[in-house]
Amino acid sequence: MDSARWQNWARTESADPVRVVRPEGVEELSAAVSAAAGEGLRVKAVGAGHSFNGVAVADGVQLDMSGLDQVVEVDPRSGLVTVEAGMRLWDLNRVLDAHGLALENMGDIDQQTISGAISTGTHGTGDRYRGFAWQVKGLKLVLADGSVVACTEFERPELFAAARLGLGALGVIAEVTLQCVPAFRLKATERPERFDAVLEGLDALVADNDHFEFYWFPHTDRTLTKRNNRYAMSEPSRSPSRLSYWWSETFTENALFEASNRFGAKFPRLVPRLNRIAGRVWSARSYTDVSHRVFASPRSVRFREMEYALPREALPEALRELRALVDREGHTVSFPVEVRFAAADDIWLSTAQGRRTAYVAVHQFHRHEHERYFADCEKVFADADGRPHWGKMHSATAEQLTKRYKHFEDFRRVRDEVDPERRFANAYLERVLGP
């Protein structure tokens, strides 16, 4: 137990908690919450710090979840896997590999904790697949009074409906039960294509591939498209060689990209030219590997990010407006814009709740100004009825968000029931959920 200054990965948020507690079991977690309640202190659980906004900022007791990282139970027959909430995704994938299982879908980073990933709405891509929280089948929570409860769709179903994407606002997740699938391989095909050609053929690209996404390089008409398609583990693997992996993942997409961004920060007028070069350097390749090795990639270049979930049909117009405003408003953007897709789901605060969704993520290198660029992008996304990613930068308020979510008031009602004193609140939650 100690106190220490905390910063998130992106260095956009920091905290000076009253104290930091690192529980190593559910009983210690419960005791820490009870003690904070007795002192009138607020509580915030912290995982890997990969959220770009203040969702994990603690102004009272900060719970370091790294001591809760063990496997609780694995049932290979049903595919149900229960782990402690502080387990990192890369470690979870290692456990699943050993049992012939896999996550159905993943985002492109595997450094988050399982509880942080589900609580902020982490997602991957694929028009037939849903976000991470969709795979959750049960939760064990520590509530504001220190009590420990379990919830599923059959046991305390309303609490489960809210807590499987709960922003840390309802309690501290101690354990997560996931519905996993038999292990599978992905065949990855990446190649550069023109911006207009991608938008014109978008419906077929999304429909014909299990997991399709693309990156557009601002100031250019270049994109890098990624098609990932699923195959059984019995199919032969054509993993990239060590040299090929180093060239693409370590050198090109990290070391060289970092150098390019640093150069662009010093000489902003060269950014359009650097982006055109990047669009050529990120060249075509194809390989097959175990799913999580294709879904996730190392990311060492520090950046800021905002992402909005748009109705699928609004995407082409929004992207064309985004391309126009970059030039019209004189923005200098050295990071590509990432576009992904998801099926509709019924999770209360899911950004894909009730509609087929396209995700548009805008980034800026941490040494570039991002505020004006993000503000202009946010106007485009809001006009398209967009919903902000709960773990990334945005300015939306509860007054705005209640109009964009069918079950927003249901979520707030459950919050009133389980945390009436706002033990788990902080400034970010007060903004997006209200007091």
What DSSP string describes 188-211? EEEEEEEHHHHHHTHHHHHHSSSE
| pLDDT score at 4 | 75
Beta bridge partners of 361: 307, 338
Question: In the chain, which stretches have pLDDT less than 50?
Answer: 243, 245-247, 250-251
Q: Where are the domains of the chain?
A: 69-182, 185-388
The 8-class DSSP code of residue 240 comes to: P
> What is the side-by-side strand order in the sheet with 43-46?
19-21, 61-64, 43-46
The 8-class DSSP code of residue 25 comes to: S
CATH architecture of structural domain 185-388? 3-Layer(aba) Sandwich (3.40)
Q: What are the C-alpha distances in Å from 390 to residues 73, 122, 301?
A: 29, 9, 22
**Single pTM value for the model:** 0.93
Domain range 69-182, its CATH number among 3.40.50.150, 3.30.465.10, 1.10.357.10, 3.40.50.1000:
3.30.465.10
The tokens for 117 are 């990933």
What is the amino acid identity at position 66?
S
Give the Cα separation of 259 and 274 in Å (integer). Answer: 11
| pLDDT score at 368 | 83
Phi then psi dihedrals of residue 78, to 5 deg: -85, -20
| pLDDT score at 246 | 44
> 291 with 106: CB under 8 angstroms?
yes
Helices 315-328 and 371-383 pack at an angle, to 10 degrees, of: 150
